[in-house]
Amino acid sequence: MTIAQNLKAVRERIAAAARRAGRSPDDIALMAVTKTFGPDDIRAAYDAGQRLFGENRVQEFAGKFQAVRDLTDAGFHMIGHLQTNKAAKAVEVFSAVDSVDSVRLAEKLNAAAATTRKRLPILIELNLGGEESKTGVNPVSQEFGALLEAAARLDHLEFRGLMTIPPLTGDPQAARPYFRRLREIRDRIAARNLPSIRLATLSTGMSHDFEVAIEEGSTCVRLGTAIFGERPRKA
């Protein structure tokens, strides 16, 4: 199967899952996750109509950036853990950061975006499984409250929603409560009606569980393996 064929197949599965859930397929964005894959694969996806891309490492994407920067109508989002000392570089190469998980990082991104005079779209990443190994902010922590407040206050950030990666199990149904919880947290924040917060995006669901994520309200599924095939194992 080619990248174009895989994209077509996943778009059909996204549309079918949306219809099953009584949702419009247009309300669900498909992000192609290109970590470990090269510029040629990004371009192949682009040529097949894909415009939204995700990468999880600043250094890795910085190396591909020159080769894809002519794709000016494509969006490249940072979706992995971002260290504060790489915030400026991230703002330089990415069009959005979907993995903001601390006030300190939000402030660094805001300062970097201010120098470019652009507003950087961000998502706050939540750690819903309480896993030590995962990044993301705990939704019942003070840090989350402070981060919401910072996201609303910092002028060069445009706070668009929430992102999460549920604990990984073999069973997509096991992720369902986490997808649901993400939506409930979004709805609770939206109900507060803060004028500076219009969060709509729920970025969740990966190759093995995106259909369940769509049933539970995801507005952006992030797919790597289902589009590009298995990633080479890390050395």
Ligand X SMILES: *Cc1c(COP(=O)(O)O)cnc(C)c1O
The answer to whether 156 contacts ligand X (rule: CB under 6 A) is: no
Q: Please, which residue, 180 or 208, has the CB nearer to ligand X?
A: 208
Element (H, E) at 189: helix 176-191
Residue 34 within binding range of ligand X, rule CB under 6 A? no
Query: What is the Cα–Cα distance from 93 to 102, expressed in whole angstroms?
Result: 20
Rounded distance, CA 138 to CA 122, Å? 17
Q: Does 96 bind ligand X (CB under 6 A)?
A: no
Q: Which is nearer to ligand X, 80 or 161 (CB)?
A: 80
Q: Which of 109, 117, 36, 42 is nearest to 75 (CA)?
A: 42
Rounded distance between C-alpha atoms, residue 230 and residue 226, angstroms? 8
The answer to the question of residue 23 lying near ligand X (CB under 6 A) is no
User: Smaller CB distance to ligand X: residue 56 or 219?
Assistant: 56
Q: How far is the CB of 33 from ligand X (least distance, A)?
A: 4
Q: How many Å apart are CA 19 and CA 165, to the nearest integer?
A: 24
Q: Which of 14, 137, 157, 206 binds ligand X (CB under 6 A)?
A: 206
The reply to whether 93 sits near ligand X by the rule CB under 6 A is: no
Smallest separation (angstroms) from ligand X to the CB of 80: 6
CB of 153 to ligand X, least distance (A): 26
In terms of residues, how long is the chain?
A: 235
C-beta of 217 vs 224, nearer to ligand X: 224
Q: Which residue is nearest to ligand X (CB)?
A: 224
Stretch that binds ligand X, among 3-11, 108-116, 192-200, 220-228 (CB under 6 A): 220-228
Quickly count: other Cβ atoms within 10 Å of residue 159's Cβ: 26
> By CB under 6 A, how many residues form the interface with ligand X?
14
Among 6, 50, 56, 218, binds ligand X (CB under 6 A): 56
Contacts of 138 (CB under 8 A, 6+ apart): 126, 127, 130, 144
Task: Look up residue 158 and give its DSSP letter.
Answer: E
Site string for ligand X, 164-193 (x = CB under 6 A): -x----------------------------
* Among residues 10, 44, 45, 80, the one that binds ligand X under rule CB under 6 A: 80
SS3 120: strand
Give one DSSP letter per residue of 76-143, joined into a string.
Answer: EEE-S---GGGHHHHHHH-SEEEEE--HHHHHHHHHHHHHHT-PEEEEEEE--S--TTS-SB-TTSHH
The single residue among 33, 74, 126, 189 that binds ligand X, judged by CB under 6 A, is: 33
Binding interface with ligand X (CB under 6 A): 33, 35, 56, 79-80, 165, 206-208, 222-226
